[in-house]
Amino acid sequence: MYKVLNKIYKKSELSFALLWIITYCVLNSIGNILSDLIGVNSSITFIINAALTIVILIWIRKNELSKKYGLCKSEVPSSSFLWYIPLLVFVSHNVWLGVTINLPIIDIVCYILNMIGVGFLEEIIFRGFLFKALAKDNIKMAMIISSITFGVGHILNLFNGSGMGLVANMCQIVGAMACGFLFVIMFHRGGTLLPCIMAHIVNNVINIFANEAAMTNQKLITISVINLIVIIIYILILRKTLPKEKI
């Protein structure tokens, strides 16, 4: 398997990134369908994502690419990132209207385990593989394309049985694009993907405890706008505090 991955990677990093995007989307869609058939949220999907995570981590380690893909500590001081405090606003927005527990414990455990894999995979695939492949030609376009691709990819939630409504999905897509742009700047200028991975995981995990009963479309849009403003302000600040190029 790793010989095949190396062959594709050496031939075209972009093809390598696209292969992982397609593989991730297809297998997760299948995993969600199978999980629904079993009747336990994310029960199959988390196994799939755990396997994909292991494969990628081993491949990165074998090829000594940890630094290239940001799986390392940043050489930029945390003060330049404002100690990541704005990320706390981002990851907490799903529970601004309260916390609820509506699922059986087994569903919650499977969901949390799945979101750990999702957070890692989406960051390493979109911010790592895709961005780095595109950045060889044009860094600005790489930032834009990787962020838009990441955001638009969330449209799958309309069709994968998640039960997400149109308004919620549109808010999610716009938020994901903005978040993707924030994370790619943190990675490109800060040299680390670890804070992005952690924020992504925490944001997704917290989502299962959101008080959806209190979440009307108007409140959802309001919260999404506030979150978007926080992200935009944080992006503008980081563009001033972080080095123009990764150290």
**Is residue 37 pLDDT above 80, yes or no?**
yes
pLDDT tens readout for residues 175-230: 999 999 999 999 999 999 999 999 999 999 999 998 888 888 899 999 999 999 99
pLDDT tens readout for residues 46-100: 999 999 999 999 999 999 999 999 999 999 999 999 999 999 988 998 899 889 9
Provide the pLDDT for residue 159.
66
Predicted model pTM: 0.93
Provide the pLDDT for residue 247.
44
* Torsion sign (Cα): 224, 227, 232, 238: negative
pLDDT averaged over every residue in the chain: 92
**Is residue 142 pLDDT above 50, yes or no?**
yes
| Of 134-138, 151-155, 167-171, 233-237, highest mean pLDDT | 233-237
- The token duo for 205 is 């995990």
Residue 202 φ/ψ region, left for φ over 0, alpha for ψ in the -120 to 50 degree band, beta for the rest: alpha
pLDDT tens readout for residues 11-26: 999 999 999 999 999 9
Provide the pLDDT for residue 172.
86
Q: Give φ, ψ of 44 to 5 degrees.
A: -95, -35
